[in-house]
Amino acid sequence: MSAKIIPDLNRAAAEVSDTLYGIFFEDINFAADGGLYAELVSNNSFEYFDRDGKIDKHMYSWEKLDGIDCEVRSDRPLNEINCHYLHIARGGRLKNRGFCQVGFAVKSGESYNFSLYARGKKQTVTARIVTESGVLVGETATKITSSEWKKYEGVMTSWLDAEVCALELIFDDSAEVDIDFVSLIPEHTYKCRKNGLRADLVEMLADLEPGFMRFPGGCIVEGRSFANMYRWKDTVGPIERRRVNWNRWQAEEYQPSGRDSSGYYQSFGLGFYEYFLLCEDIGAKPVPVMNVGMTCQFHEGLLVPLNELQPYIDDCIDLVEFANGSPDTKWGALRAEMGHPEPFGLEYIAIGNEQWGDQYFERYELFADAILAVYPDLKLLFSAGPNCEGEYYEQAMKWIAGHRDLAYATDEHFYKSPEWFYNNVNKYDSFDRTLPKVFAGEYAAHTSPERRCSWRAALAEAAFLTGIERNADCVAMSCYAPLFSKTGCFQWQPDLIWFDNSSVYGTPSYYVQKLFSNNVGDRTLPVCCDDHELYISATEASSNGSICLKIVNATETEKTVDLSALNLRRRYTWIKLCAGLDAENSHEAPKRVYPSSKKHIGAQVTLEPYSLNVIIG
C-alpha cells in the first residue's frame, strides 16, 4: 500500500522569505582565531591578558629558546590601543605554535605572507616555518633599518605538505630590538584577500547558499563583564588598532574536549568589516547582534543603568551608517577607507542575544524607539529568551504582543532532544500570525547522554524543518547553532562543521541544512499525506512552476508514497540522505552520511527507513 501525497486544500499558499534558511556564526570552539580567520600566529601583538589579573599572559603562545632575553614592555608603543610589544635585549629564538598550541598546516607550493613591526638596532631578523620535527619549510630574512616603528614584510613558500608547523623568529646576539604585530597569513585565502579567511571553511558556508548570516554571537555578544562585551567599534579600522579581548568561552567551566581553553582570545582580525564582506561574498544578508547593555544573564547578569545606555544605542545607529552610509559620513568614510565604498545593504539588527525579563524589555524599548526614529525601515529582532517555551518565553511573547511595531521578528532558541523536535513539528501551525514573525535563531537536536553529531539528531532536525517550511508565512528566518568547531579544542557540541589544521567536514546536520536551503521555492505548496508518520513540506518556484517536495521517513520501515496528485515533471530529481541513526561523519570518513541524487520517473517513490528525501521537478 502506498501513501498518497495530495494538495492540502485547507491551507493557502504563502510567500517563502528569501531568508528562511541562514547561518549563525559565533566565535565559539575556536571558530574565528584559529579557524575561519586565516592568521596563523597566536597572541601576535603580545596583548593577551589574564582576566583575573593573577598571571601575566602577555607572552602566551611564545616559547623562548636559545637563550633569548626578552620582556613585554609598554612605553612608546606602536599605538595606544594595543600598547604592549616585545623588547629583545639579547638574541636567540622565539617560537609560536599558533592557536590552541596545535600548530598550523602548510601546503606544498603555497606562499605565506609574513610581516612584523619592529624598531631598533640595524640587524637581520630571520623568520622561518618549521615542522614539528624541525624540518625547515620556508625562510625569509628581514633587515631592520629604523629606530622607529616600521612594518617589514616577507614571503615564504612551502616545498612540502605538513600538518603541524610553527613560526620561529631568530634574532642576532646583539639584538636590542622591539617587535609587535607578528603575522603569517596564507596567500591563498578566500578570494585571495589580504586579511582574509580560510578558503575551505568559507566554501562550506557558500555551499549552504545561506539567506542571511547572524553574527558575531551568541553569548560572546553579552560577555561576562562590561569590558568583555562585544563592541563592534573595537573590531574595525587597521587591524593593529583593534582592541584584543578575551573570549568568554575560555571561562566556560565545562570544556568537553578536555583541553584547556585559557588561551582563547579575540584578536578581532575578523571584525565587523570582514563579517560584512563575508556576507556579501556568500550572498547572505548580514544580521548583526548587538549588546543591549546587559551581560550574560546565566552568569553575572550585569546591567548598564538605563540612563547610561546611549553609547550602546549609538553603537546600533552608527553601525547602520558604517554599513550603509555614504562615504561622506563619519562611519561610511571608515568603511570606504577599509576598501568598500559601496554600501553593504544592512536591513536587520538583533538587539540583545538571549535576553529575558523586564530588565531586557525596558532596554529593548529604549533601543528600538531610538533606532527606528532614525531608521524606520530597519528590521529589528527581539529576543524571546533562552528557550522557545516556558516562563521567560511566555513573558517575552506577552510583552511583544503589546509592542508589535517594535520588532520584525522574535528570536527563539531551542536546544532540545530529538524527541522534542518530532513532537514539535507542528509548533508553528497555531502561531498567532498577527505577532511579529518568528526567527528560529539558534537550534540543534541534542542527543543524550552525549550530544553527538549523529544522523539521529539530524533526522529530527529535518522533520522539524518541514514544519518550519510549511509555516513559512510566519517563520521568516532560521539557523542552526553553533556553526563551527575545531576538532580537539571545542567548548560545545554538536556543531554543524568541524575542521582541523587542514581539513573540514560537514556533519549530517550540515547536509540537512544544505538540502533544505539549496532546494526551496518562493511559495509554499500546501500538501498533506494520509500516512501521518511521514513529515512533509513542499514549495514551488513561481518563475517556472517547479515543485520541491521534502519527505522525512523517521521510521524503521520502508514506505512507498504516491506522487501522482502533484504536478511534477515526468522526469524529476530525487535526492536522498539516509543512514543508520548512530552514523556520523568524521575527518577520516567525511561522507558517511552524504546525499545521493538521481533522475527518477514514475509516481511511486519508495522511501528508505530513516531518510530525508528531496524531490524536485
Smallest separation, CB 158 to ligand AHR (Å): 35
Residue from 218, 263, 418, 521 that binds ligand AHR (CB under 6 A)?
A: 218
Number of residues forming the site for ligand AHR (CB under 6 A): 12
Single-letter amino acid code for the residue at 407? A
Q: How far apart are CA 538 and CA 9, in angstroms?
A: 14
Restricted to residues 23-52, the positions that interact with ligand AHR (CB under 6 A) are 26, 28
C-alpha cell at 422: 518530532
Q: Are 289 and 221 in contact (CB under 8 A)?
A: yes
DSSP string, 160-227: S-EEEEEEEEEE-TT--EEEEEEEEEES-BGGG-TT-BBHHHHHHHHHT--SEEEES-SHHHH-SSTT
Q: DSSP secondary-structure letter at 243? A: P
Instruction: Give yes or no for a contact between 161 and 69, defined as CB atoms under 8 angstroms apart.
Output: no
Single residue of 211, 216, 217, 271 touching ligand AHR by CB under 6 A = 217
Closest CA to 36 of 25, 23, 47, 44: 25
- Using rule CB under 6 A, residue 354 touches ligand AHR: yes
- Say whether 354 is catalytic: yes
Whose Cβ is closer to ligand AHR: residue 218's or residue 467's?
Answer: 218
Tell me which stretch binds ligand AHR (CB under 6 A): 74-82, 169-177, 211-219, 589-597. 211-219
Q: Within positions 373 to 412, which residues make up the interface with ligand AHR, using CB under 6 A?
A: 386
CB-nearer residue toward ligand AHR: 223 or 332: 223
Grid cell in block for residue 58: 602577555
Helix (H) or strand (E) holding 517: helix 508-518
User: Which amino acid type is present at position 152?
Assistant: Y
Among 353, 466, 539, 585, binds ligand AHR (CB under 6 A): 353
Which residue's Cβ has the minimum distance to ligand AHR?
Answer: 218
Give me the least distance between CB of 164 and ligand AHR, in Å please: 28
State the CB neighbour count (10 A cutoff) for residue 141: 11
539 makes contact with ligand AHR (CB under 6 A): no
Which one-letter DSSP state was computed for residue 247? Answer: -
As a whole number of angstroms, the distance between CA 287 and CA 380 comes to: 10
In the shown chain, the binding pattern of residues 8 to 27 toward ligand AHR, with x for contact by CB under 6 A and - for none, equals ------------------x-
Q: Which of 528, 444, 552, 439 is nearest to 22 (CA)?
A: 439
CB of 385 to ligand AHR, least distance (A): 10
How far apart are alpha carbons 33 and 538 in whole angstroms? 40
Three cell numbers, residue 284:
547572505
Taking CB under 6 A as the rule, does residue 334 contact ligand AHR?
no
82 near ligand AHR (CB under 6 A): no
Determine which residue in the list 70, 182, 219, 579 makes contact with ligand AHR, applying CB under 6 A.
219
Scanning 89-97, 129-137, 215-223, 583-591 for contacts with ligand AHR by CB under 6 A, the matching segment is: 215-223
Choice from 22, 467, 482, 617 touching ligand AHR (CB under 6 A): 482
223 versus 325: smaller Cβ distance to ligand AHR: 223
| Beta carbons of 98 and 132 less than 8 angstroms apart | no
Nearest CA to 466 out of 412, 556, 532 is that of: 532
Please say which residue, 220 or 282, places its beta carbon nearer to ligand AHR: 220
**CA 406 distance to own-chain centroid:** 27
- Contact between 508 and ligand AHR by CB under 6 A: the answer reads no
Q: Between 363 and 446, name the residue whose CB sits nearer to ligand AHR.
A: 446
Sheet of 504-506: strands edge to edge? 484-486, 497-499, 504-506
Among 442, 469, 473, 562, binds ligand AHR (CB under 6 A): 442
Q: Which three cell numbers stand for residue 475?
A: 517563520
Report the alpha-carbon angle 399-405-410, nearest 5. 55
Minimum CB separation of residue 21 from ligand AHR in Å reads 17
Instruction: Give the active site residue among 26, 222, 321, 354.
Output: 354
| Distance of closest approach, residue 283 Cβ to ligand AHR, in angstroms | 23
Interacting span for ligand AHR (CB under 6 A) from 101-109, 171-179, 214-222, 547-555: 214-222
| Contact status: 332 vs ligand AHR (CB under 6 A) | no
Judged by CB under 6 A, the stretch of 47-55, 61-69, 204-212, 217-225 that binds ligand AHR is 217-225
Q: Which is nearer to ligand AHR, 38 or 483 (CB)?
A: 483
DSSP SS3 for 9 = coil
- Ramachandran region of residue 415, left (φ > 0), alpha (ψ -120 to 50) or beta? beta
* Least distance (Å) between residue 4 CB and ligand AHR: 40
Ranges of beta strands (E only) in 187-330 are: 212-215, 245-246, 265-266, 285-290
Which residue lies nearer to ligand AHR by CB, 257 or 613? 257
DSSP 435: S
Window contacting ligand AHR (CB under 6 A); options: 108-116, 163-171, 213-221, 256-264: 213-221
Residue 383 or 519 with smaller CB distance to ligand AHR = 383
3-state secondary structure of 459: helix
- Give me the 268-307 binding string for ligand AHR, x by CB under 6 A, dash otherwise: ----------------------------------------
Q: In what order do the strands lie in the sheet with 69-73?
A: 69-73, 85-90, 177-186, 111-120, 150-157
Chain contacts with ligand AHR (rule: CB under 6 A): 26, 28, 217-219, 353-354, 386, 442, 481-482, 492
Residues known to be catalytic: 354
